[in-house]
C-alpha cells in the first residue's frame, strides 16, 4: 500500500475508533509511484430492480467502500466505475456485458443471478476481459479462463450443512427439502446429499420444488409447503434469497414451527429486517459473518456500518474482495494494464487477507475458504446472524 493510502486508512481507523490495522496491507515501499497512472474503467453488473435488487445494492456498496478506502483507485489508477443492469434473464445480462465492453472496460465484476452468469460466459471468454464475479457461482461454470469468483460455489453451502446435519439430526429425524426450481438449487441439493449421505433414509423424500420467481406473492409457496410437510418432517432444509426468502419463511412459519436450515442467503441483509421474529432460531451456513473476530473484518465492518448504517452482508464482503483482488492484480501489471495482463496477474496474487478470513483462488478460479454456522438471535431490538462455530474449509 502506498504511503498516501496508508495515511488515509489510518485516518479512517482513527475516526472509527478502531485499533490495529490489516496485516495484509503490505509495507510502505511495496508499490511504485502511482501519481501519473492513467484512469481505468471497471464495469459493475447488478440488478437494479426486482427481488434481487437488495443484493445488487450490497454488491455496489462493498465495491464502492473499497474504492473509498483507496482514494478511488485500483492498482494506483483512478477508477471510473461504470454500472449496468443485469436484469433477471441471460439476455438482459448479456446486453449489460455488451454495453460495458463497448465502453472499453479493463475488467468486469458483480453478477447476482446464476442464470445470468451462465448466459454471459461465452461473451466474457470471447472478449478476453476478466470478470470477477462477486455472487453468482453455479458449479456448471467449468473450464473458464477469464471468469473468477470471490464468493463460493453453490454446492459448497449444501455440503457444509449436509455434513453438520448428518451428525446433529436424530436417527428418527426426517428432513423436508424445499427449493425453487432454478440453476442454483440443483447445486445446493447435490452438495447437501453428497455430505449427508445419498442413501440416508432421513433425507430420502423427494425434493419439493417451488416457483423460481424473484417477486413472489403472499400465497406463492403455500401449496408446495403443505405438500412437503405432509410427510411430517422434523426439520426443513431450503434455499431462497432476497424477497423470495422473506415470503417463503413467512408462509412456512404459518404451518411449521420446527428447525430450519439453509445456505446463509436465507437470512442475509434486509431479509432479517422483514422477517423479524419469524427468523429466530434459523441456522445457516455461509462463508462470512459480520461478527468474525479478525482485524480485516473489524476494519471492513466498522467502515461499512459507518457509511451505510447497516451490517455488511456476504454480498458486500465478496464485492469488497473483488475490488481487493483487482487492486492487487492491476498493481502487478505495472503502469499500462491490458485486460489480458490483469487476467494473468489474478493467478499470481496468492492469499487474500479478507474480512471472511484468509482465502485464495483454487484451480477453478473460486475461493478456497472457511464456512461458518450461524444462528438468528435477537441482539437487543435487532435480529442478527450470530456466529456459532466453524463448519469446514471447502473449495
Alpha carbon distances (Å) from 28 to 10, 31, 80, 96, 257: 13, 7, 26, 39, 55
* Residue 47 backbone dihedrals phi, psi, to 5 degrees: -75, 135
pLDDT tens, position by position, 102-139: 999 999 999 999 899 999 999 999 999 999 999 998 88
Measured between alpha carbons, how far is 137 from 139 in angstroms, rounded to an integer?
A: 6
Q: What is the CA radius of gyration of the chain?
A: 21
pLDDT score of 214: 85
- 260 contact partners, CB below 8 Å, separation of at least 6: 235, 236, 237, 238, 249, 252, 266, 281, 282, 283
d(CA 301, CA 276): 22
The low-confidence residues of the chain, meaning pLDDT below 70, are: 1-35
In contact, 334 and 157? CB cutoff 8 Å: no
The DSSP annotation for 280-347 comes to: TT-EEEES--TT--SHHHHHHHHHHHHHHSS---HHHHHHHHHHHHHHHHHHHH-SS--HHHHHHHHT
**359 is written with which cell numbers?**
482465502
Distance CA 200, CA 193 (A): 9
The span from the CA of 146 to the CA of 142, in Å, is 11
> Per-residue pLDDT tens for 168-215?
999 999 999 999 998 889 999 999 999 999 999 999 999 999 999 988
pLDDT of residue 166: 95
Query: What does residue 178 show for φ and ψ, rounded to 5 degrees?
Result: -125, 125
**Per-residue confidence (pLDDT) for residue 270, from 0 to 100:** 85
3-class secondary-structure state, position 204: coil
Length of the chain: 395
Element (DSSP H or E) covering residue 93 = helix 90-102
> In sequence order, what DSSP letters do the residues of 21-34 get, joined into one string?
--GGG--TTSS---
Amino acid at each position: 500500500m502506498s504511503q498516501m493510502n496508508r495515511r488515509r486508512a489510518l485516518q479512517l481507523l482513527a475516526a472509527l475508533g478502531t485499533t490495529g490495522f490489516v496485516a495484509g496491507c503490505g509495507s510502505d515501499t511495496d508499490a511504485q509511484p502511482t501519481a501519473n497512472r492513467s484512469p481505468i474503467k471497471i464495469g459493475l453488473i447488478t440488478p437494479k430492480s426486482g427481488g434481487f435488487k437488495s443484493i445488487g445494492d450490497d454488491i455496489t456498496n462493498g465495491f464502492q467502500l473499497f474504492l473509498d478506502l483507496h482514494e478511488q483507485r485500483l492498482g494506483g489508477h483512478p477508477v471510473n466505475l461504470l454500472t449496468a443492469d443485469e436484469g433477471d434473464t441471460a439476455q438482459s445480462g448479456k446486453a449489460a456485458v455488451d454495453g460495458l465492453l463497448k465502453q472499453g472496460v479493463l475488467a468486469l465484476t458483480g453478477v447476482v443471478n446464476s442464470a445470468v452468469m451462465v448466459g454471459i460466459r461465452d461473451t466474457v471468454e470471447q472478449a478476453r476481459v476478466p470478470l470477477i464475479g462477486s455472487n453468482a457461482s453455479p458449479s456448471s461454470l467449468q473450464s473458464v479462463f477469464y471468469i473468477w469468483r470471490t464468493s463460493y460455489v453453490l454446492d459448497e453451502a449444501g455440503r457444509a450443512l449436509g455434513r453438520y446435519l448428518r451428525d446433529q439430526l436424530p436417527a428418527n429425524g426426517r428432513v423436508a427439502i424445499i427449493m425453487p426450481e432454478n440453476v442454483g438449487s440443483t447445486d445446493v441439493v447435490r452438495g447437501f446429499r453428497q455430505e449427508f449421505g445419498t442413501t440416508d433414509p432421513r433425507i430420502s423424500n423427494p425434493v419439493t420444488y417451488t416457483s423460481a420467481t424473484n417477486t413472489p406473492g403472499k400465497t406463492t409457496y403455500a401449496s408446495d409447503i403443505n405438500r412437503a410437510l405432509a410427510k411430517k418432517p422434523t426439520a426443513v432444509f431450503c434455499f431462497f434469497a432476497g424477497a423470495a426468502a422473506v415470503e417463503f419463511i413467512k408462509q412456512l412459519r404459518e404451518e411449521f414451527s420446527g428447525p430450519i436450515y439453509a445456505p446463509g442467503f436465507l437470512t442475509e441483509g434486509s431479509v432479517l429486517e422483514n422477517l423479524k421474529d419469524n427468523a429466530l432460531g434459523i441456522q445457516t451456513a455461509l462463508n462470512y459473518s459480520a461478527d468474525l473476530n479478525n482485524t480485516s473484518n473489524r476494519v471492513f465492518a466498522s467502515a461499512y456500518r459507518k457509511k451505510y448504517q447497516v451490517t455488511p452482508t456476504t454480498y458486500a464482503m465478496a464485492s469488497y474482495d473483488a475490488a481487493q483482488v483487482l487492486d492487487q492484480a492491476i498493481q502487478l501489471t505495472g503502469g499500462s494494464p491490458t485486460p489480458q495482463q490483469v487476467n494473468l496477474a489474478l493467478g499470481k496474487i496468492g492469499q487474500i487477507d479478507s474480512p471472511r478470513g484468509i482465502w485464495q483462488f483454487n484451480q477453478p478460479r473460486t475461493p478456497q475458504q472457511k464456512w461458518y454456522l450461524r444462528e438468528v438471535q435477537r441482539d437487543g431490538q435487532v435480529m442478527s446472524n450470530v456466529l456459532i462455530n466453524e463448519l469446514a474449509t471447502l473449495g
